[in-house]
Amino acid sequence: MNPKLFQPFSLGELALRNRIVIAPMCQYSAREGSASDWHVMHVGSMATSGAALVILEATAVEPEGRISPDDLGLWSDANEAALGRVLSAVRAWSDTPIGIQLAHAGRKASTYAPWRGRSQVPAAEGGWQTVAPSALAFNEADRPPVALDAAGLARVRERFAEAARRAGRLGLDLVELHAAHGYLMHQFLSPLSNRRDDAYGGSLENRMRFPLEVFEAVREAFPARRPVGVRVSATDWVAGGWDLEQTIAFARALEARGASFIHVSGGGLSPQQQVPSGPNYQVPYAREIKKATKLPTIAVGLITEPEQAEAVVGTGDADLVGIARAFLYDPHWPWHAAAQLGASVKAPRQYLRAQPERFPELLKG
């Protein structure tokens, strides 16, 4: 057997051992944006899992861009030093490439961590004023965001660039710009959240303008030989909203500007979304974007079983699979996938004694 899932792949000059990507997962365990000891444990676990690439959780480029007060950030020297400590500890024991997702939550910022209910944090409890393309709240009960003016747009754009420079100094292997799940870049793209009447609203070209400017700023700020890609929501799942046709136009514009990959998700912009959830439910969007561009694609969408992942890459629906929650349940998911599909996976030398007798070629140091 020679499963495609365990064949190497390259994103530009970044060589990957297999096609398994650990997608970003918020941990809500930072302090003022700075990574904690939890991140040493979590990232270390993911980086020794056998996956080809770990993309760190949505990382805010400014304090106001955090989803919650507990989000990871990369806007200050303290944030950079704390994340550097985590990366140093992990890299001492793993050579798995590590990327980072740079993000701004826009109108979906200033909310509690999931285990506290996800509602908006009141100002009296440390909540902050959110910003967005237009003064339209995500939920009716939320405080409305402030529409970004020219100075605000320039500030956010530069904050993304500065975070990318910090990521470069930290030696991170890849940057992913978060333009999905209803956060700020997605808010600019969708006509449901962007009601501006200036050069950044109205037509598709105008709605794409600010996310493309941010991408260009990040691409310029991050080392040229390291990949920069984008996470997108291919649809809002709301009538009259962002959809696949517009996503393909955006992907082509990103490709023309030097994007290295596109990570294809969906939804998150509106509480009115109607999501047809099920195994592989977002893979068709990755397939259509792959057909329409030459960009390497990462597919997601309740991909939990090895045969599912193999089918996605084996049929050419996508080049890579992004797996998230399944890794929280099973941090050695690639080991078990390799055993099931007849492949092998790199493991820490300290774990080689775990090799099952019935799979003598499973683990390699």
Would you please indicate which residues are annotated as catalytic (active-site) residues? 183
User: Do 8 and 320 form a contact (C-beta atoms < 8 A)?
Assistant: no
Among the residues of the chain, which ranges form H helices? 37-47, 77-91, 150-169, 184-189, 204-221, 244-256, 283-292, 306-314, 325-329, 333-341
User: β-strands 14-16, 9-11: how paired?
Assistant: antiparallel
User: β-strands 262-265, 131-132: how paired?
Assistant: unpaired
DSSP 198: S
355's CB contacts (< 8 A; 6+ apart) are: 362, 363
Cα–Cα distance, 12 to 364 (Å, whole number): 26
Cα–Cα distance, 140 to 22 (Å, whole number): 34
4's CB contacts (< 8 A; 6+ apart) are: 19, 310, 313, 314
